[in-house]
């Protein structure tokens, strides 16, 4: 009995020792895997589990009002070669060395940025680096794949590369692969480029309409799971991508071309720092053309910034605004007179000067035509001295201080603060100590042309999905009446004089010793009304006496306005010859003459163009 008992205990002990030993072995394996082989096995797990892959939708197009493409995505691919694939390194590298010459020659034909020898050297360096033979000269940027070309290749180029002797064997035999990266193209080049906008490398809108309407243009991402099927990794769709919508803008490619050509010619002649020009339909508020050109270090002009929505001191174009406020409040009349002096007029510590100094007396109407700073400083002080808040309140009631939504990202709000002293108030009368964007200035003058109704400028007419209209945008009224009818009539006749009074009008004609030598905004074909503006540029803490911002803003045809237009030019380098009426007024004149022809307001009779006023 005791022997049987000892036998049982002995056997139990043996089993216990085996179990304990097995437990220790398992524990040691766990510790080894956890501490020494964790990274290896985690990588193994990552290669086996399915990965989620985002499927990018096709980005929507941006079209002009006539359906012409302003921005569109076209297929594009980056070409890579994975020189690590085992097939290239087997059998003494036979496959690689057999085809390296033929693929190098083929790549140089399809992608001529490099010759065959350069392609062969680049691919061979990468191959040797992967093969462990040498790291010298191996491309440092190729952590995984060798990039065969720095830029995108087209679909046709992609197909040609895929047909090269080695690459036609596919990825697992040759290492060739392509990354789908559609390229955003603008068929009309620089036309309204900054307003249309740009996209980032990840395909999202960065500026302009591309950014403002990112959600509509981008669409909805799809989703796929990357799984290993039949020995190969494949993307198994889980959710299909929804392509982006198209934007139909108010822009017109032909009017864009007319506007940019006129502005570019002006800038090249004056060598100005930058210029901005906007053309808008009077009754609808549709922006038909917008152009922003900056001078580069090489002297050429291109679209770099959207000055149309950047705040600046407007200069004398603000005189019309101050005049409307005073007239509408009953503070002055057109016949009121103001004495001016060739030496300027000192008010407290401010000396007000006129661009064309003389000792004379102007009526308010002629003061606007000649753009007298002295007369307008006196006018605003007569109307609102010690009542500056009432002046700013009046501007508020006219819609000048309102922040108006714009589809252009970064659009700035107007700055019209209540002045603390009479000197600041007197300078506000001719466009200093206030800031407006060119688009806001145009909106005010467009209201004058539109019989006192101020409307919001807009750039997008509708969002569409093929033939289906998703969303539409229409004219939005900001102020049904900016001022009294009598005030509006007074403003209109005064703006007429600016262009058509040959003796006073700053935008009429250029003369020399009584002889007409050139036209400014005055046209033989279309009647234009508007106002010039000149402002010294504030830089490095002070106003620069020889650096100015020139502007002309107006509307046409004057009898039945169809378009309003502003041209602003920063620091023309033809001092002292620059002139807002000549430099900017002539740009608007050229645009006006071509725009009304394009709109069908001219008819051809015989060998000449005849303007049909009632058409």
Q: Is the pLDDT of residue 612 over 80?
A: no
pLDDT given at position 471: 97
CATH of the domain at 232: 3.90.1310.10
CB atoms < 10 A from the CB of 612, how many?
Answer: 11
Domain boundary among 139, 163, 181: 181
**Residue 139 reports pLDDT greater than 50:** no
Segment 85-89 long-range contacts (CB within 8 Å, at least 24 positions apart): 85/171, 85/172, 85/173, 85/174, 85/175, 87/169, 87/172, 87/173, 87/174, 88/127, 88/174, 88/175, 89/130, 89/131
Residues 370, 325 share a domain: yes
Q: 146 with 170, same domain?
A: yes
Calculate the CA 341 to chain-centre distance: 45
The answer to which of 17-26, 268-277, 357-366, 584-593 has the lowest mean pLDDT is 17-26
Q: Which of 203, 221, 249 is the last residue of a domain?
A: 249
Same domain, 544 and 531: yes
Shared domain for 300 and 363, answered yes or no, is: yes
Q: What is the mean pLDDT of residues 521-544?
A: 94
- What DSSP assignment string belongs to 477-529? EEES-SS-HHHHHHHHHHHHHHHH-TTT-TTSEEEETTEEEEESS--SSS--E
User: Where does a domain end: 228, 249, 270?
Assistant: 249
Quick one: 397 and 517 in the same domain?
yes
H helices of 136-252, in order, are 155-162, 171-174, 193-196, 208-212, 214-218
- Beta partners for residue 479, in sequence order: 454
Instruction: Give me the chain's average pLDDT, please.
Output: 89
Q: What is the span of the domain harbouring residue 104?
A: 78-181
Any idea what DSSP says for residue 205? Answer: B
Task: Give a yes or no: residue 2 inside a domain.
Answer: no
Same domain flag for 563 and 595:
yes
pLDDT tens across 98-132, in order?
Answer: 899 999 999 999 999 999 999 999 998 888 876 65
Calpha distance 256→193 (Å, rounded): 10
**C-alpha 48: how far from its chain's center?**
45
What pLDDT does 179 receive?
85
Q: Is 131 exposed, middle or buried (0-12, 13-18, 19+ CB in 10 A)?
A: middle
Q: Tell me the whole-structure pTM to 2 decimals.
A: 0.83
Mean pLDDT of 562-577: 91
214 vs 540, residue with greater confidence: 214
Quote the pLDDT of residue 344: 96
pLDDT in tens, 5-41: 667 777 777 777 778 777 787 777 777 777 777 676 6
Res 47 pLDDT > 60: no
- Token pair 């139990």 is found at 12
Cβ partners under 8 Å of residue 218, min gap 6: 57, 59, 60, 203, 204, 205, 244
Burial of 117 (0-12, 13-18, 19+ CB in 10 A): exposed
β-bridge partners, 246: 464
- For 442, 453, 583, the CA distances from 519, given in Å and listed in that order, are 23, 31, 10
What is the pLDDT at residue 137?
40
**CA atoms 72, 68, 254, 206: torsion sign:** negative
DSSP string, 552-578: EEEEESSSS--EEEEEEEE--SSTTS-
Specify which residues 244 forms β-bridges with.
none
pLDDT in tens, 303-321: 999 999 999 999 999 999 9
Question: What total of structural domains would you count in the chain?
Answer: 3
Q: How far apart are CA 529 and CA 363, in angstroms?
A: 19
What is the number of other CB atoms lying within 10 angstroms of the CB of residue 46? 9
Residue 284 CA to residue 496 CA, distance in Å, equals 23
Q: Measuring CA to CA, which residue among 377, 357, 362, 480 is closest to residue 422?
A: 377
Q: For the domain that residue 307 is a member of, what is the CATH number?
A: 3.40.710.10
């Amino acid at each position: 009995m005791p022997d049987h008992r000892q036998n049982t205990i002995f056997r139990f002990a043996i089993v216990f020792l085996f179990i304990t030993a097995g437990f220790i072995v398992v524990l040691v394996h766990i510790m080894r895997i956890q501490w020494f082989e964790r990274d290896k096995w985690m990588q193994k797990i990552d290669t086996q589990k399915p990965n989620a892959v985002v499927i990018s939708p096709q980005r929507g197009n941006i079209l002009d009002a006539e359906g012409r493409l302003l921005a569109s995505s076209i297929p594009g691919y980056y070409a890579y070669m994975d020189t690590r694939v085992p097939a290239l390194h087997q059998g003494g590298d036979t496959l690689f060395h057999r085809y390296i010459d033929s693929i190098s020659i083929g790549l140089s034909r399809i992608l001529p940025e490099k010759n065959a020898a350069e392609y062969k050297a680049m691919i061979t360096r990468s191959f040797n680096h992967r093969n462990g033979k040498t790291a010298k000269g191996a491309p440092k940027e190729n952590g995984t794949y060798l990039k065969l070309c720095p830029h995108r290749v087209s679909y046709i180029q992609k197909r040609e590369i895929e047909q090269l002797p080695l690459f036609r064997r596919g990825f697992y035999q040759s290492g060739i692969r392509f990354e789908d990266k559609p390229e955003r193209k603008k068929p009309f080049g620089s036309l309204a480029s900054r307003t249309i906008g740009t996209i980032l490398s990840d395909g999202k809108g960065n500026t302009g309409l591309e950014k403002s309407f990112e959600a509509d243009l981008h669409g909805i991402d799809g989703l796929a799971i990357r799984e290993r099927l039949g020995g190969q990794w494949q993307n198994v769709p889980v959710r299909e991508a929804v392509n982006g919508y198209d934007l139909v803008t108010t822009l017109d490619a032909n009017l864009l071309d007319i506007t940019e050509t006129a502005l570019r010619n002006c800038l090249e002649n004056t060598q100005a720092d930058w210029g901005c020009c906007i053309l808008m339909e009077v009754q609808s508020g549709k922006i038909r053309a917008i152009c922003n050109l900056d001078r580069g270090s090489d002297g050429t002009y291109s679209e770099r910034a959207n000055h149309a929505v950047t705040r600046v001191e407007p200069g004398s174009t603000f005189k019309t605004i101050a005049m409307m406020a005073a007239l509408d409040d009953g503070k002055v009349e057109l016949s009121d007179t103001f004495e001016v002096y060739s030496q300027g007029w000192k008010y407290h510590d401010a000396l007000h000067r006129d661009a064309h100094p003389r000792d004379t007396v102007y009526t308010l109407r002629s003061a606007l035509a000649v753009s007298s700073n002295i007369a307008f400083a006196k006018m605003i002080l007569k109307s609102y001295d010690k009542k500056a808040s009432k002046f700013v309140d009046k501007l508020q009631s006219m819609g000048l201080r309102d922040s108006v939504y714009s589809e252009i990202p970064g659009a700035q709000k107007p700055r019209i603060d209540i002045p603390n002293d009479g000197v600041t108030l007197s300078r506000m009368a001719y466009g200093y100590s206030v800031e407006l964007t060119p688009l806001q200035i145009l909106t005010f003058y467009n209201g004058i042309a539109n019989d006192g109704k101020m409307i919001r400028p807009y750039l997008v007419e509708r969002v569409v999905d093929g033939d289906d209209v998703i969303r539409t945008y229409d004219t939005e009224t900001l102020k049904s009446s900016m001022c009294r009818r009598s005030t509006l009539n007074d403003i209109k006749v005064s703006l007429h004089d600016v262009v058509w009074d040959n003796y006073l009008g700053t935008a009429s004609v250029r003369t020399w010793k009584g002889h007409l030598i050139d036209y400014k905004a005055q046209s033989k074909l279309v009647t234009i009304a508007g106002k010039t503006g000149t402002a010294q540029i504030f830089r490095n803490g002070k106003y620069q006496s020889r650096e100015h911002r020139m502007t002309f803003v107006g509307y046409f045809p004057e009898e039945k306005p169809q378009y309003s237009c502003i041209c602003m030019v920063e620091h023309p380098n033809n001092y002292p010859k620059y002139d807002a009426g000549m430099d900017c007024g002539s740009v608007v004149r050229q645009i006006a003459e071509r725009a009304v022809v394009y709109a069908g307001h001219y008819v051809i009779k015989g060998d000449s163009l005849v303007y049909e006023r009632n058409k």
